[in-house]
């Protein structure tokens, strides 16, 4: 069973605080939504979860294993991935 734990996540870009004290837990086969206005930090949060960027502070655990310090490919191997609304990984390839 999947368990995702996000604890006291903060992310700053220079002097701009984008995420502040984000804490939540997802257990098992749950469907969750992440909604908010433009600039609310949704993409920043998903980038932290998949390892694309590192948090300023806080932790992310997947099945009780800390993953916020791992590179993206290791996070994916651990079982956490993402998809995009428009898939265009390679624009010039068919």
Measured between alpha carbons, how far apart are the two ends of the chain, in Å? 36
For the sheet with 16-27, list strands across it. Answer: 16-27, 3-13, 57-62, 65-66
For the domain that residue 31 is a member of, what is the CATH number?
Answer: 3.40.50.300
CB atoms under 10 Å from CB of 80, counted, come to 19
User: Residue-wise pLDDT tens for the chain (94 aa)?
Assistant: 789 999 999 999 999 999 999 999 999 888 888 999 999 999 999 999 999 999 999 999 999 999 999 999 999 999 988 887 776 667 676 6
pLDDT of residue 29: 83
Predicted local distance difference test score (pLDDT) of residue 93: 66
pLDDT digits (tens, 9 = 90+) for 54-80: 999 999 999 999 999 999 999 999 998
> What's the rounded Cα separation, in Å, for the pair 50 and 70?
9
Is residue 93 one of the residues assigned to a domain?
A: no
| Average pLDDT, rounded, for the chain | 91
Residue 94 covered by a domain: no
Q: Look at the chain and report how many structural domains it folds into.
A: 1
Residue 27 covered by a domain: yes
Please check whether residue 52 lies inside any domain of the structure. Answer: yes
Q: Which range marks the domain in which residue 43 is found?
A: 3-78
pTM for this model (two decimals): 0.86
């Amino acid at each position: 069973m999947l368990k995702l734990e996000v604890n006291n996540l903060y992310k700053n870009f220079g002097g701009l605080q984008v995420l502040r004290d984000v804490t939540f837990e997802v257990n098992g086969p749950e469907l969750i939504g992440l909604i908010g206005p433009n600039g609310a930090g949704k993409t920043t949060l998903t980038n932290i979860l998949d390892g694309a960027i590192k948090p300023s502070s806080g932790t992310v655990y997947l099945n009780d294993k800390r993953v916020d310090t791992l590179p993206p490919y290791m996070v994916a191997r651990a079982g956490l991935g993402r998809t995009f609304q428009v898939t265009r990984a390679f624009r010039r390839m068919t």
